[in-house]
Structure 1
Amino acid sequence: MIHSIFKLLVILATAIFLLACAGPSVQQYANEKPALDMSEYFSGTIDAYGIFTDRSGEVKKRFTVLIKADWKVVDGKKVGTLDESFEYSDGSKQKRVWTLIEQGPGKYIGRADDVVGDAQGELAGNALNWTYTLALPVDGTVYHVQFNDWMYLVAPKVMLNKAKMSKFGIELGEVTLSFYKR
């Protein structure tokens, strides 16, 4: 009897923990304006300005990103290319080229050389949520870290981005970006 009560308590505690960890759903932003159209916003030239903060909130890196983007229709699907050039405050540079493929209304996959597998994207209203694993080089070692990346279109030319970075479910830090479409 005590064993059964203990099991029930463990199950209940686990359920409460999992519910506490649940984040927002992109669908809760479905009626928010301005509505984000991926192929419209991410076309042409976009400038981005960002910081990476560790889990204590200390800014560890500042950076800018120049994004050149365009879209085509391939086999009936919209396919976008985002060519990103990063420049960090320490003078280092990095390049990432994303291929984004529309899978259906509000559903996207994304691929880049340093992304492990496919990034999964979901869009509704003014919000876009990406989840993916990034192969992140740090001091000669590559770590696979998970990103939960939220983007919000706040004006026709301005998007804000907040991404939580974690490993084994432990938050490592956060990336904050502002995008400005030229």
Structure 2
Amino acid sequence: MAHRPTHPTAAVTALLALTLAGCAGAPVPADYAREQPTLNLREYFNGPLTAHGIFTDRSGRVVKRFTVQMVGRWQGQSGVLEEDFTYSDGSKQRRVWRLTELGQGRWRGQADDVVGEALGEVAGNALNWHYTLSLPVDGKTYEVQFNDWMYLMDNRTMLNKAVMSKFGFTLGEVTLSFSKP
């Protein structure tokens, strides 16, 4: 009778690893607690910034391109971030965020087109915001949920990826690259 090894083969081990990774769940800010450089919102969003971004629909097709000129100002634990969007079709939009640090890495954000308030958490180099945005589309306004992640790459560059959804279904994604002068 042939002897069968009692240890798993490489294929079984790889399959088990993929299965466990799939069960790990969605990322949380604490997953990035050791990542550097450490994100300090008051420092990064202070003064002028520029962002370039795209909106992709759920199939991955780029629907809109845009640039954002921003200026952040702070007084103590509160700040204002003014965003002026220019879209590839020539349209413009303005959003003014009022940000408040709540302590222990937690933040609150408010803007005129945000329903209620945005809640965010910073850990390491990452910030995760959750909020509902009133989004005008073809003469109608829809309330869509955002799961918004920002990652500080270095003292001048931040990458941002946000998933937009409604009733739990993904509508599309927004991807941005922020840069400081």
Q: TM-score, normalised on structure 2? A: 0.86
2:26 aligned with 1:27 = no
CA distance in 1, matches of 2:71, 2:91: 19
Matches within 5 A, 1:4-23: 22-23=25-26
> Which contiguous aligned blocks of 4+ residues in structure 1 show a shift greater than 2 angstroms?
19-22
CA separation of 1:105 and 1:155: change in aligned 2, threshold 3 A: same
CA distance in 1, matches of 2:104, 2:23: 29
2:68 aligned with 1:65 = yes
How many residues of Structure 1 are paired with residues of Structure 2 in the alignment?
160
- Residue type matched to 1:80 in 2? G
Matches within 5 A, 1:108-127: 108-127=107-126
Counterpart of 2:102?
103
Structure 1: segments with no counterpart, 5+ residues: 1-18
CA distance in 2, matches of 1:137, 1:23: 29
Deviation at 1:21, TM superposition (A): 9.3
Deviation at 1:105, TM superposition (A): 2.1
Q: 1:41 aligns with which of 32, 40, 44?
A: 44
Q: Which has the larger radius of gyration?
A: 2
**Is the partner of 2:153 in helix, strand or coil?**
strand
Counterpart of 1:150?
149
Deviation at 1:22, TM superposition (A): 3.6
CA distance in 2, matches of 1:138, 1:22: 32
For residues 52-96 of structure 1, what are the alpha-carbon distances to aligned partners after superposition, in whole Å with 9 as ceiling and x for unaligned? 0000000000000000101102xxxx0010000000000000000
Q: CA RMSD in A?
A: 1.2
